[in-house]
Amino acid sequence: MQNRNQALVGAFLLLLGFGFLLANVLKINFWAVCFPAGLILIGVLLLLRPKVFDTSSASSWYLFGDVKRRGEWVPADEEIWLLFGDVKLDFTQAQLPVGETHIRINGLIGDVDVRAPADAGVAVSASGVIVNLRTPTDKFDRFLSPIHSASLNYASAERKVHVSTTFLIGDIDLLQR
């Protein structure tokens, strides 16, 4: 999963760079071509999502705004797509199922806050152009390099949450109490 996300970000940046280069050489308006092409691509992804991506998890799409999961809720495998926004996942009162729950968050620019109880195993994988990850014990600042961090009890925990993020610019905070 992590390598696929990194490959997608890399391919996007390559295409964007080649597009700008070609536009300068041919003296054409890059945005007049790429903006409609980008809208078409997003539409195709929305229509073909069940055939392209994993269909076992729920998928949510947001253009702007906040995504909040807190209080008493039952986490399940989920995929969240957003352009710009904040995602707040509070597992402290959640009824975590036995096993591992995967939550994937993809977008352009985002801030992700994860709160989890001390007895739950939590792993965070983040990739993108600029990524900051803060955990109770570490702080990572990366440029074009993926990050993976897991709580000390992750391997032995009965209930686990794995949060994967892919942003061009992402800020992830993990608080475990």
The reply to whether 101 and 161 lie within a common domain is yes
48 plus 70 within the same structural domain: no
Regarding whether 72 and 36 lie in a shared domain, the answer is no
Q: Are 77 and 31 within one domain? A: no
Q: Are residues 105 and 67 in the same domain?
A: yes
**Closest alpha carbon to 80 in 70, 95, 67:** 67
Its pTM stands at 0.72
- What's the distance, CA 94 to chain centroid? 21
Do 70 and 126 belong together in one domain?
yes
The confidence score (pLDDT) of residue 171 equals 94
- Considering the domain architecture, whether residues 67 and 149 belong to the same structural domain is answered as yes
CA gap 130, 86 in Å, rounded: 16
Domain check: are 19 and 64 in the same one?
no
Residues 24 and 89 in one domain: no
pLDDT tens per residue across span 35-53:
777 777 767 766 665 544 5
- 106 and 152 fall within a common domain: yes
Query: Is 156 a residue whose pLDDT tops 70?
Result: yes
Tell me: pLDDT of 18 over 50: yes
Determine the structural domain holding residue 150 and report its residue range: 58-176
Phi and psi torsions of 68, nearest 5°:
-125, 130
Q: How far apart are CA 36 and CA 133, in angstroms?
A: 34
Predicted confidence band of residue 103 (pLDDT cuts 50, 70, 90): very high
